[in-house]
Amino acid sequence: MTLPLGPLMLAVDRFIALAAIALFLAVCGWIARRAGYADKGRRAALIAVIAGIIAARAGFVISNLAAYAPDPWTVFYVWQGGFSAVWGVTAGAAALLLTWRGPEQRKALAALAVIALVWFGLERFTVQSQSQPFPETLAITRLTGQPLALDSLRGKPFVINLWATWCPPCRREMPMLIDVAADMPGTPILLVNQGEPVSTVIRYLHREQLGAQAIMLDPKSRMSAALDISAYPATLFVDATGTIRQIHTGEISRAALLSGLRLIGAPTGQYAG
């Protein structure tokens, strides 16, 4: 799920996180103003947010060390997402305890607790709202022109990535997706190009020296229309019952891809650790 922001699209889960942070800072500022030490309170709240963001990223990375091992520098690719909310809220609370002295500290901690609970609830609702049956009768084609009915994949988990050659984040994530797809032949990971002719796709793959085994074509973008997806890349995780369990909008990291694979019950082999 995404929200349009002018020419940009923002994933709903990231919008919720940003809104929660903004609300926390606003509430802490109000508490501090009423207590007569606005600057001190705002500074403590800001430190709590910074500590929370760093801890949330660290927690996600630690939980997915095996996924980051092949490309350790991607630890710093924070735009791909990958944060542990529990680690972040815990670190934020600890920072408040250390930096916000006085009787208003409890109010700030209570505000953090309430906002965190609402945030977690909205996150859960967002994930549940993404669960839907994968559209029946959709068909795509291989680069050779041979059709592939997606109904034939039912009975086992699979991943669909929607992409286009003109999309920068699609191009950045593609080598990793092709690499993981090759490592997991038992779980189809299909990179389905949207709306481009085969000649454009083949020319791009040759130029970038990318393998073509996982690449599929949807020249009329029927899949995007059926799923109401308007922003690329989008990665769909479908379980063995044919239910879409998660839709990741935007560039995906190896760790997030493997987390999604585990969600749909796919074995992750060498990345299991």
How long is the chain?
Answer: 273
pLDDT range class, residue 66, cuts 50, 70, 90? confident
Average pLDDT over residues 52-78: 89
Domain final position from 102, 130, 158: 130
Considering the chain, what is the average pLDDT of its residues?
Answer: 87
pLDDT at 270 over 90: no
Average pLDDT over residues 100-117: 90
What pLDDT, on a 0 to 100 scale, did the predictor assign at position 128?
Answer: 67
Does 149 share its domain with 258? yes
Angle at the Cα of 272 from the Cα atoms of 270 and 273, rounded to 5 degrees: 100
7-11, 121-125, 166-170, 175-179: least confident range: 7-11
Does 169 share its domain with 246? yes
Domain final position from 95, 130, 165: 130
Does 267 share its domain with 138? yes
Average pLDDT over residues 122-140: 78
Phi, psi of 264 (to 5 degrees): -95, 10
What pLDDT, on a 0 to 100 scale, did the predictor assign at position 57?
Answer: 94
Domain final position from 86, 114, 130: 130
Give pTM, 2 decimals. 0.79
Does 151 share its domain with 265? yes
Average pLDDT over residues 231-243: 92
Does 137 share its domain with 265? yes
Does 121 share its domain with 161? no
pLDDT range class, residue 7, cuts 50, 70, 90? very low
What pLDDT, on a 0 to 100 scale, did the predictor assign at position 4?
Answer: 46
Does 121 share its domain with 150? no
pLDDT in tens, 155-210: 899 999 999 999 999 999 999 999 999 888 789 999 999 999 999 999 999 999 99
What pLDDT, on a 0 to 100 scale, did the predictor assign at position 77?
Answer: 86
Does 126 share its domain with 138? no
Does 9 share its domain with 125? yes
Q: Name residue, tokens 């630890």.
A: 75
Does 24 share its domain with 79? yes
Q: Residue 197 is part of a domain; what is its CATH number?
A: 3.40.30.10
Instruction: Give the residue from 47, 18, 19, 53 showing the smallest Cα distance to 108.
Output: 47
- Domain, as residue range, for 211: 133-271
Does 117 share its domain with 140? no
* Six token digits for residue 273: 């650790």
Number of domains in the chain: 2
Does 158 share its domain with 174? yes
What pLDDT, on a 0 to 100 scale, did the predictor assign at position 1?
Answer: 53
pLDDT at 123 over 80: no
Instruction: Give the residue from 195, 225, 66, 201 showing the smallest Cα distance to 74.
Output: 66
pLDDT at 269 over 70: no
